[in-house]
Each structure stands twice: as structure tokens, then as C-alpha cells.
């Protein structure tokens, strides 16, 4: 439950978070640690990965044999060797290329299998962690930003693993093998070929210093824009109502421009790599042909076949350098995404097995708040010294102005937050000694805006108790006064709801939510302004359903309309996080205090509205 009193704090925190992202150009924090962590996920497929590496070695060796055999064939033709010798070279070359193609096919196929299984495990762990994160985390991170990490960043890792691991290994093996073959054929030509290496090193160092930060910024800006899009789509009705389309479009342009700028410079700098490598490649080719031709004409240092082999090897030498450079940028992009994924996975999750906490099998419903203090921000208490007692089966109403601490008290009772000072007791047990799972299993909530899932009505109600039969679900719907309107829908209970029940009214969604709570059969029931924003007839149906639901349960009602809670056994009046009055409706009216003044004000406003 997200605290309504804390909404301003959430917006300020999110705003500061987003401003911080724009002010500082993000950098990858620890490439080595992130790659090691990715490897820990890949290592589940060690045998298959070992086979892939073997095939990579085989294909790399065969790719090196091809130019060597081609050079030998050229020398054989120049020397006037027999046709059978040339035919023999051609057969061997054919077998080399066929073997290389087979090795490439299997290694790519198996690497895709490894990559997809790796990403599957990452997604599974990430989604599990997201569900176990505490409420506080969701208050400071936009849902669109989180979605970006769940989708875009993970997909970025997936694309990289599918191809880059093989390319990286192939490039290293080809580079090393090429240098060995070149040294064996002609150390002198090899020396001239390696002239390009210092130039390449300086150029690559200049480029990669810039690409690492820009690729990370690109992912951050993408998450920020996705968060804004999600927020805009969710609030499109409010945007139209207040004619804010122009402002929203302008803000989106700013975020889109920030993403464009980050992506532009990431691509520009990474685009320098192939241009640099092509220039160096052509330069190396010219050196080999020029100097090699000179040596071939003026001495027996090299043969024409060796020059042909060297021209091929020079391209095989610069191509893996080019590939390594390109792969470095791809890896940077993937590491940036993986690091953002792992940041979420490293967030401390809500404690599931609290220290010294035990399951509570059945709650009677006695609740005691004993001098409870809590603050969202250090030094700014949201609730202060709150104390009150509730007997099992009683109905308690929490009233007070916005920001008084009503929702925070319910959040503390639900263990969404930890009490800082004081204690909460349920049936005489300290709340800290009761596990969250067993506590929430015996609590039910009906909120002002009840969420419905994209599935059938019967499954939405069954969400309260998954093992319930269809008959039990229908009985709960009848008790909630929802059965009649459900049966009038085209598919009845099997009507599929979408977009949080957009096809039915707010009141009908509320009745389904009440049926869900009835099916759960909770010991403690929480109602958060459950009858607001609906018509009078539907409100009567909901009130009847709620009266049925509340029988025999301890009920907490958060209410702004005081005429709806006059029947409550006790009313807790809050202001500025403190309990200032408590008692029955009549008792509080006789006290002629804060509650009486609030009730009188609402009555006058209601009468003037009539």
C-alpha cells in the first residue's frame, strides 16, 4: 500500500532522482564484476559451452589454413607443378571450407541455446526480486523505468550473448593464430604489418573512453523516457481534462531529445571504430603489397604465394582487431544494461523470514498500538506516539485531514514498513514476531481504486483464495451483491476484463473487489474509502455488501466522509501524525473538539451542496 500522505515526498524524490540522472553523465561502475556475474549465469551450461569453445578453435584453425593453402596453390602454379598437385590443394581447400562452415553452424546454434537459457535465468531472478522488493523502493522508481530494466536492458544482454561471446573468442584465436602464421612465413613482412598496432591502440583508447559513458547514459535516458511514457498513458484522462497535451508533448520532446543526444554520441564514437580499422586495413594492405613485391622482385626473401597469403592474413589480422573493437562497444552496451539489471537484483528485498518471527495460524483480531513512531525521512516523524487499542470484531475508523497519518498506520499494521519506536501487538504478540506471509494471509483490503487483473471475472474473484471452487466464488459474488450484474455481462463470470476492468463501472469493480475479500475470509479487514466516487444506488449495494463482509471481523476504515463511519465502535482522530481524539461518534460530538468541528463543516458543505 503506497502511502497517500507521502505522495508529495515520492514526487520530490523521483524528481530529484531524474534531475540527478540528467546532471551527471553515468558511467559503468565495474565492468569486471558485472562480466563475472554474467558468467556465473552462463556457467550452468559449462559442458555445452566447452563444446562451443572447441568448435570455435576448430573453425578458427580452419580459417587460418585456408589462406596458407591458397598461397601454396599459387606457388605451385607459378612453379609449373603438375595438375594433380593443384587438384590436391583444391580438394583440401574445399574440405577446409566445408569443415569450417559446419563448425560455425553448430557453434552458433549451441551458443544461442546457452544465451537464451542464461537470459531466462536472469529474467526469472530479476522478476522474483522485483516482487520481493519493499514498498519504499516503488516510491522512488518510476514503473516505466523498472519496466525498461525488465525488458530493454535484459534484451540488450540477450542480443550480446547470442553472438558476441563466439565473435570475441574467434577474434582472439584468429588474431593470435594469424600472427603465428605470419611470423612463420616472413618475420620481416610481419614486422611491417604490425606497424598499425600502436596507431590502432591510441585511436581505440580515445574512442572507448567516450563510448562507455555514452552507452550507459543511453540506457538511463531510455528508462527515463519509458517511465514518462507509462505515466502519461496511465494519466491520459487527466491530461486531456486539464488541457495539458502541449506541456506533456513538450516534456516528452525534451526526454526524447536527451535520449537522441545520448544515442547519437554513443553511435558516433562507436562508428569511428570501423572507419579507423578500414583505414588501417588499407594501409596495411598497401605496405604488404609494396614491400612484399619489392622483396619478391629483388630477392628470394618471399614468394608470390607468400604475398598472396599475407594479403589475406593482413585482412584476417585487422578484421579481428576491428571485430574486437566493435565487440567492445557491444559489450559496453550490454554491461551497461546488465549493471542496471543487477542494481535492481541487489536491492534489499522485503524480509520474508524475519529473525525470531513465527507464523500465526489464526488471528482473533485484538490490535494494540503502543507509542508507535515512524518517519519516511529522518527527523520528520509521520506518526508520533500513536497509541490505541482494538478488540476483536470491533470496527475502527481512522479520520483526519490529508497527511494526518491514516494510511501510514495501516501500512505499519500490514508490515509494509517497520515501526521505529514503540510496538504493535496482534492478539498479544508483537508484530515483529509474526511473519509477513502469515499476517497478510489473514488480512483483507478493499481500496478506493481496486485493481483487477487482465483475466476473467471468476479468476479475479478467485484471486482472494486460489483453491476456491467455482461454487464458492459465485457464493462470494452473491454475498457482495455482484452476482446480478455479472450474469448480465455477455460471458457472465467468464467475461474477460482488460486494462483494470475498463469495460465495467467503478462501482462494479468495487463489488468484485469486495467479493474477492469475502472469498479470502480475512480476520482483519481494511477499507480505504471503499464507497467513494460512486452513485447512490451502487453505494447502497456496496454498503450492504460491506456490512456482510465486516460481520465478526476486526475492521479498520479510512474515511473522509464522516457520515459513513457513524456506526464505528471507535473513531480515531488523527492530525499531524498524532492521535488527538478517540471515542464513538456521539462521544466525540459531545466533546465539541476537532472531530465535532470537522463533522459540522462537512454537514454544512453537504447541505449547501443540496
Q: What is the pLDDT of residues 506-543, one digit of tens each?
A: 888 888 888 898 888 889 998 887 665 566 677 777 77
Q: What pLDDT is recorded for position 534? A: 60
Phi, psi (degrees; rounded to nearest 5) at 481: 60, 25
Q: Which residue has the higher pLDDT, 302 or 90?
A: 90
**CA angle, 67 as apex, 63 and 70 as ends, to 5°?**
130
* CA 379 to chain centroid: 32
Taking each helix axis from N to C terminus, what angle separates 46-78 and 83-132, rounded to the nearest 10 degrees? 160
* Percent residues over pLDDT 90 in the chain: 11
What pLDDT is attached to residue 610?
A: 44
Separation of alpha carbons 177 and 388, rounded Å = 79
Report, as an integer, the average pLDDT of 156-181: 78
The rounded distance, in Å, linking the Cα atoms of 243 and 230 is: 19
Q: CA 320 to CA 493: how far, in whole Å?
A: 62
pLDDT of residue 574: 92
pLDDT in tens, 59-89: 888 877 777 777 677 666 666 556 666 677 7
From the list 153, 270, 266, 254, the residue with the least C-alpha distance to 218 is 266
Q: What share of the chain is helix, strand, coil (3-state, %, to 5)?
A: 65, 10, 20
Beta-carbon count within 10 A of 15 CB: 10
Phi, psi at 571, each rounded to 5° = -115, 125
Residues 443-469 have a mean pLDDT of 86
The confidence score (pLDDT) of residue 76 equals 66
Burial of 104-116, coded b for 16+ CB within 10 Å and e otherwise, reads beebbebbeebbe
Please give the pLDDT value at position 108. Answer: 83
Q: Of 155-169, 268-282, 393-407, 467-481, which range is least confident?
A: 268-282
Long-range contacts at 328-332 (CB < 8 A, ≥ 24 apart): 328/204, 328/208, 329/208, 329/211, 329/215, 329/270, 329/273, 330/160, 330/164, 331/35, 331/160, 331/164, 331/168, 332/28, 332/31, 332/208, 332/211, 332/212, 332/215, 332/216
* 332 in Cβ contact with 28 (< 8 Å): yes
Whole-number pLDDT of residue 532 = 59
Q: What is the pTM of this model?
A: 0.65
All domains of the chain, ordered by start, with CATH?
A: 28-345 (1.20.1560.10), 354-442+567-610 (3.40.50.300)
CA 425 to chain centre: 36
Residues with Cβ within 8 Å of residue 216, at least 6 apart in sequence: 26, 27, 28, 332, 336, 339
Query: Per-residue pLDDT tens for 255-268?
Result: 888 888 888 887 77
Instruction: Please report the pLDDT score of residue 371 as a whole number.
Output: 92
Q: Is the pLDDT of residue 352 over 60?
A: no
Tell me what the mean pLDDT of segment 30-57 comes to.
Answer: 84
Residue located via cell numbers 480505504: 528
Cross-sheet strand order for the sheet of 570-575: 443-446, 524-528, 554-558, 395-399, 570-575, 578-583
Q: Averaging pLDDT over each range in 240-249, 263-272, 344-353, 378-387, which range is the top one?
A: 378-387
What was the pLDDT predicted at 573?
92
Kindly report the average pLDDT of the chain as a whole number.
79
Instruction: Give the Cβ contact number of residue 555 at 10 Å.
Output: 24
Element (H, E) at 424: strand 421-426
Amino acid at each position: 500500500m503506497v502511502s497517500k500522505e507521502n505522495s508529495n515526498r515520492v514526487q520530490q524524490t523521483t524528481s530529484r532522482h531524474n534531475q540527478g540522472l540528467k546532471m551527471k553523465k553515468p558511467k559503468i561502475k565495474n565492468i569486471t564484476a558485472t562480466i563475472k556475474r554474467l558468467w556465473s549465469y552462463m556457467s550452468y551450461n559449462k559442458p555445452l559451452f566447452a563444446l562451443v569453445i572447441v568448435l570455435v578453435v576448430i573453425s578458427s584453425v580452419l580459417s587460418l589454413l585456408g589462406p596458407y593453402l591458397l598461397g601454396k596453390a599459387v606457388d605451385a602454379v607459378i612453379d609449373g607443378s603438375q595438375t594433380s598437385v593443384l587438384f590436391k590443394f583444391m580438394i583440401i581447400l574445399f574440405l577446409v571450407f566445408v569443415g569450417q562452415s559446419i563448425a560455425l553452424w553448430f557453434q552458433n546454434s549451441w551458443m544461442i541455446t546457452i544465451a537464451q537459457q542464461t537470459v531466462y535465468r536472469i529474467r526469472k531472478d530479476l522478476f522474483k526480486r522485483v516482487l520481493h522488493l519493499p514498498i519504499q523502493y516503488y516510491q522512488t522508481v518510476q514503473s516505466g523505468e523498472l519496466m525498461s530494466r525488465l525488458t530493454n536492458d535484459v534484451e540488450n544482454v540477450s542480443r550480446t550473448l547470442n553472438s558476441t561471446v563466439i565473435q570475441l573468442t574467434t577474434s582472439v584465436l584468429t588474431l593470435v593464430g594469424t600472427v603465428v602464421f605470419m611470423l612463420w612465413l616472413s618475420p620481416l613482412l610481419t614486422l611491417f604489418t604490425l606497424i598499425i598496432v600502436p596507431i590502432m591502440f591510441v585511436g581505440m583508447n580515445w574512442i572507448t573512453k567516450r563510448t562507455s559513458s555514452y552507452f550507459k547514459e543511453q540506457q538511463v535516458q531510455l528508462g527515463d523516457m519509458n517511465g514518462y511514457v507509462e505515466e502519461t498513458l496511465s494519466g491520459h484522462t487527466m491530461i486531456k481534462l486539464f488541457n495539458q497535451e502541449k506541456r506533456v508533448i513538450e516534456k516528452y520532446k525534451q526526454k526524447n531529445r536527451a535520449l537522441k543526444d545520448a544515442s547519437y554520441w554513443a553511435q558516433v564514437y562507436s562508428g569511428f571504430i570501423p572507419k579507423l580499422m578500414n583505414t588501417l586495413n588499407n594501409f596495411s594492405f598497401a605496405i604488404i603489397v609494396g614491400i612484399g613485391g619489392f622483396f619478391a622482385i629483388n630477392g628470394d626473401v618471399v614468394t608470390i604465394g607468400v604475398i598472396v597469403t599475407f594479403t589475406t592474413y593482413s585482412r584476417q589480422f585487422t578484421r579481428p582487431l576491428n571485430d574486437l573493437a566493435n565487440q567492445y562497444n557491444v559489450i559496453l552496451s550490454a554491461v551497461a544494461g546488465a549493471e542496471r539489471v543487477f542494481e535492481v537484483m541487489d536491492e534489499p528485498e522485503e524480509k520474508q523470514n524475519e529473525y525470531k518471527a513465527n507464523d500465526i495460524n489464526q488471528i482473533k483480531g485484538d490490535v494494540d498500538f503502543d507509542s508507535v513512531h515512524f518517519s519516511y525521512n529522518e527527523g520528520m516523524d509521520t506518526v508520533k506516539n500513536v497509541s490505541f487499542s482494538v478488540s476483536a470484531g470491533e470496527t475502527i475508523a481512522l479520520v483526519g485531514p490529508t497527511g494526518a497519518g491514516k494510511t501510514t498506520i495501516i501500512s505499519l499494521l500490514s508490515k509494509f514498513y517497520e515501526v521505529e519506536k514503540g510496538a504493535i501487538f496482534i492478539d498479544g504478540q508483537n508484530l515483529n514476531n509474526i511473519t509477513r506471509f502469515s499476517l497478510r494471509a489473514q488480512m483483507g483490503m478493499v481500496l478506493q481504486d481496486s485493481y483487477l487483473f487482465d483475466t476473467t471475472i471468476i479468476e479475479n474473484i478467485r484471486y482472494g483464495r486460489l483453491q476456491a471452487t467455482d461454487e464458492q466464488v459465485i457464493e462470494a459474488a452473491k454475498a457482495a451483491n455482484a452476482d446480478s450484474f455479472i450474469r448480465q455481462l455477455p460471458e457472465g463470470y467468464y467475461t474477460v476484463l482488460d486494462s483494470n476492468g475498463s469495460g465495467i463501472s467503478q462501482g462494479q469493480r468495487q463489488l468484485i473487489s469486495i467479493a474477492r475479500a469475502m472469498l479470502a475470509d480475512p480476520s482483519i479487514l481494511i477499507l480505504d474509502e471503499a464507497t467513494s466516487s460512486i452513485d447512490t444506488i451502487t453505494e447502497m449495494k456496496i454498503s450492504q455488501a460491506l456490512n456482510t463482509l465486516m460481520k465478526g471481523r476486526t475492521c479498520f476504515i479510512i474515511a473522509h466522509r464522516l457520515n459513513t463511519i457513524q456506526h464505528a465502535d471507535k473513531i480515531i482522530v488523527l492530525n499531524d501524525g498524532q492521535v488527538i481524539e478517540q471515542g464513538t461518534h456521539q462521544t466525540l460530538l459531545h466533546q465539541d473538539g476537532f472531530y465535532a468541528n470537522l463533522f459540522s463543516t462537512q454537514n454544512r458543505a453537504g447541505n449547501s451542496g443540496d
